[in-house]
Structures are given as structure tokens and as C-alpha cells.
Amino acid sequence: MTSPLRVGGDLPYFGTRQELHDYVQAFEELGYRHLAFGEHVLPARAPNWPSSVPPCDPWHEAFTHAAFVAALTSRVEIAPSVLLPLRSAGMAAKQAAEIDLFSGGRLRLCVSVGWNREEVRALGADPATRGRLLEEQVKVMRLLWTEPFLTYRGELIEIEDAAVNPRPEKPIPVWMGGGDFEGGGVPRPVVLDRMARIADGYRMFGPLMRNLDAGLDVVRRLRELVEKHGRDPGDFGVEARIPLQLLPEDAWVERVETWRRAGASHLTLSNRRGAGGADAEIARLTRFRELTRGLW
């Protein structure tokens, strides 16, 4: 039996605490399943920064943001996208464990290397090794979440008899994203392979949601790679996205049905460029629910 599609949404880049508060609480009351948000820690004005996204927009640090969302909700899954190489594996493991414990096990963590090389460099990481670093970080975090004490010596990380305490009560799902603006959000082959080998699921990068055929092709290729690596594609999550502000209302139902037929486990309403404030965005969520609720 096919599992029901889990529909959630992005948290728009609101500038005030009150707008965040009102939106998050309305989001959960409307029955949406997961709330996703990304981060920039030190947004650097890189040459390839997209012109449509002002770098001075309000970007919140992901774990702090997650703690705020956890405190305001009781049911919704908290799904931050974390630029993992900007942190040590131990610190990220600790922060994730704390969010998961305080939220009652509602954390689904998505990690990526980040597309902004200048930001990575500004925070002390080497852009040239960030992919290899991320793989080690995920391995070490999973060990820290399960082992009473850990000694680990890898290529880029060393830990001597250290622990995360308290540890999560169950494994924290670790999903991955990938892609950049120049490539339309399509992850490079090495990134697809990394996801297929070690991730619990895939979160679509924003630009890819604008090209449905390309998005469907990425999911197909990713499932083939998952199977190639001896894993069950049915256990691998896929979070697709709908560009809610760019897609006419009369196309919403068809797009939901397309991703449901494609086997997506999660569907995220992408409205990060929210215009009109919290009230306008809540009205949009309400309208989407009215038109599509029978599908999820």
C-alpha cells in the first residue's frame, strides 16, 4: 500500500518575530505536516549570487530557527536545511540531538555543502574538501547519536573518547540536498551518488522546482543509484517542491497528482519569497488546502 503524501511548506523569510510566530502556528493548525527552511550563516556577495535573492534578506541560523519552531508547535515535523561544513561534526550532532529531544522526536535534518563558496571559506572550511568533509560528518554524527563514547580517526575528523549526552531516543533522519543556480538546481553526478549511498532522502533545491521534467528525471536517476548501491528505493524519501507563487491555482491539483504518481514521499509548498506578510501567506496556504486536501 502506498504511503500518503506528506504535504508541508517552506517558512517564508519574514523579518519580524511576530510574523514568524503567527505563520508557524497557523501552518500547524491547517494540518500541514512539515515545515522546512534553509540558512545562510554569513551570506557573502559572491559573483554567482542570484539577482532575484538580495543577500541582505533576513537569513536565520538553522538550529536556532528550529528551536523557535519547536517551541511554537507540537505536531509539525521540523525540517531545517543545514550547511553542514560550516560547523564541526560534534557541534552539529549536539545541536541536532537537542532539537530532536526538545521537540519530541520531530526533527528531520537535511544537510548540504552549500553553493556559496565564499561563505564556506569565511567560516573556516575549505570549499575544495567540503564534499568529503560532509560525508565524514554524517558518519560521525550518526555514531555520536548512538555510541556512549566515540573514538574516530578519519581523513578530516578526529574525535577521542567523546560523547553526545543526552542522545536522541531514535535515529534522526538525515536527508541531503544538492544543486546550484547555474545548473538549474540539478545535483551533479557525484552529489547524486553521495545521496544514494548515505542519505535517508533527497530534498529538492529551489531552482529545480521550476522545471518539472528535470525534477522527475533527477528522482528517477536517484532511485536507480539507490538500488545500484544495494538499498531499497522504497525506503528512500523524496521531497519535491511546488513553486506556489509561480503556479496558477488551476494547476495545483495536477502538480500534486504528478508528484504523487512519481512516488514522492513529501511535497513542499515553496513560498520562501513570501510577499504581503504573514496574513497573505496564511491565506495562500488556506486556499491550497481547500483545493487539494483530498489528495493528501
pLDDT in tens, 189-215: 999 999 999 999 999 998 899 999 999
Proportion of the chain in helix, strand, coil states, percent, rounded to 5: 45, 15, 40
Mean pLDDT of 59-76: 95
150-176 as b/e: b if 16+ CB within 10 A: bebeeebeebeeeebeebbeeebbbbb
What is the mean predicted confidence (pLDDT) over 173-186?
93
Torsion of CA 199, 46, 157, 189, to 10 degrees: 40
Tell me: pLDDT of 137 over 60. Answer: yes
Whether the Cβ atoms of residue 226 and residue 263 lie closer than 8 Å to each other:
no
Residue 54 has pLDDT above 90, yes or no: no
Bigger pLDDT: 108 vs 44: 108
Share of the chain above pLDDT 70, in %: 95
Q: What is the pLDDT of residue 2?
A: 57
Higher-confidence residue of 14 and 218: namely 218
Residue found under cell 501552518:
27
| pLDDT given at position 14 | 83
Residue 165 has pLDDT above 60, yes or no: yes
Tens-place pLDDT, residues 224-262: 999 999 999 999 999 999 998 889 999 999 999 999 999
Write down the pLDDT at residue 273. Answer: 62
Residue given cell 529545480 in the structure block = 208
Q: How many degrees, rounded to 5, is the angle at CA 199 between CA 74 and CA 66?
A: 30
Mean per-residue pLDDT of the chain: 93
pLDDT of the residue at 232 = 97
Q: Say what the pTM is.
A: 0.93
Question: Residue 15 burial by CB count (10 A; 0-12/13-18/19+): exposed, middle or buried?
Answer: exposed
State the DSSP H helix or E strand holding residue 51, giving kind and residue range, or none if neither.
none
Tally: H helices and E strands in the chain: 9, 10
**Is residue 62 over pLDDT 50?**
yes
Angle in degrees, CA 194, 210, 231, rounded to 5: 25
pLDDT of residue 210: 92
Average pLDDT for 3-30 = 92
Query: Residue 154: which of 174, 172, 129 has the closest Cα?
Result: 129
Q: How confident is the model at residue 115, as a pLDDT? A: 84
Pairing of strands 158-162, 150-153: antiparallel
Give me the half-sphere count of Cα atoms (radius 13 Å) on the Cβ side of residue 77.
18
pLDDT at position 28: 97
Q: Is the pLDDT of residue 1 over 50?
A: no
**77 CB-near residues (< 8 Å, 6+ apart):** 6, 8, 33, 34, 35, 106, 107, 108
Predicted pLDDT at 167:
97
Check residue 261 and give its pLDDT.
95
